[in-house]
Amino acid sequence: MSSELIIGRNGVREAIKNGEQIDKILVVQGLMDASIREILLLARQNKVVVVETSRYKLDEMCAGLGPNGKTANHQGIVALLPAFKYSEMDDIFELSAARGENPFIIILESIQDPQNMGAIIRSAEVLGAHGVIIGKRRSATLTSTVYKVSCGAAQYIPIVKVTNISTTIAELKLRGVWIVAADMEGQPLAATDLKGSIAIVIGGEGEGISRLVRENCDIAVRIEMGGQVSSLNAACAASVIMYEKRRQDLV
């Protein structure tokens, strides 16, 4: 299982028009002729992420994909599709209803390491979460690496990609979900009631949860440490909090 490339201007244009699930579009930096401007406008209208890169990078990505094993003619633009399809928000709630359980959701803000994302997805599935939400920007996507690290768990749990994490949190609140931020300044995890409908927000490596997202959460929790190292990485912290949620639900 690997990410799929759509190479060249006509292919990328049609993929956007047809509503393909596109992780991002890569375009050669500074390339702004009429055809490229048209595609980028279309991408913006459809809320597709566009990233500028070097021609060398696109040449490298398209190596061996052209006729007779040559580098494909990318025309300065490539679309990257996910290794497998994203779900919709309703899929998360349908799964929780089918199990007869309160919604249990993991929200990942700016998790950029595919290894971390894959590990979190694996823990989420094993520990009974009903879905994982990721943002479109500054986030790892559903690549073959994420799938491999998740040990296939990504097949069994809905993974939803959203344009804006804060807006999504507001929508979840309207659906009765309590939003919990993982934050070193929060209250002790073990002293926090995590029963009921819960979404746990895990921030990115190094920076943690952004100020705006933190302000939109209902409560923050911290993992009390017993060693010399002051923190856990995102995947480990997520697993600890998910386990505590699972433990409380089973009491």
Q: What is the pLDDT of residue 2?
A: 44
Tell me if residue 5 falls in helix, strand or coil: strand
How confident is the model over 182-223, as pLDDT tens digits? 998 999 999 999 999 999 999 987 778 999 999 999 999 999
Question: Which of 107, 214, 197, 199 lies closest to 161, judged by CA?
Answer: 107
pLDDT at 52 > cutoff 90: yes
Q: Are 41 and 108 in contact (CB under 8 A)?
A: no
Average pLDDT value for the chain: 91
- d(CA 95, CA 105) in angstroms, rounded, equals 11
Q: What is the pLDDT of residue 56?
A: 94
Is 89-250 the same fold as 4-81? no
| 204 vs 126, more confident | 126
Which CATH topology does 89-250 take?
A: Alpha/beta knot (3.40.1280)
Q: What is the pLDDT of residue 3?
A: 54
The model's pTM is 0.82
Domain map (residue ranges) of the chain: 4-81, 89-250
- Average pLDDT on 146-174 reads 90
Structure tokens at 225: 């440490």
- Average pLDDT on 242-251 reads 95
- d(CA 101, CA 245) in angstroms, rounded, equals 13
Q: What is the pLDDT of residue 1?
A: 40
Q: What is the pLDDT of residue 213?
A: 94
pLDDT at 42 > cutoff 60: yes
CATH class of the domain whose range is 4-81:
alpha beta
- Average pLDDT on 235-244 reads 95
Candidate ranges 3-12, 114-123, 165-174; pick with highest mean pLDDT: 165-174
Question: Which of 209, 205, 194 lies closest to 232, judged by CA?
Answer: 205
pLDDT at 247 > cutoff 70: yes
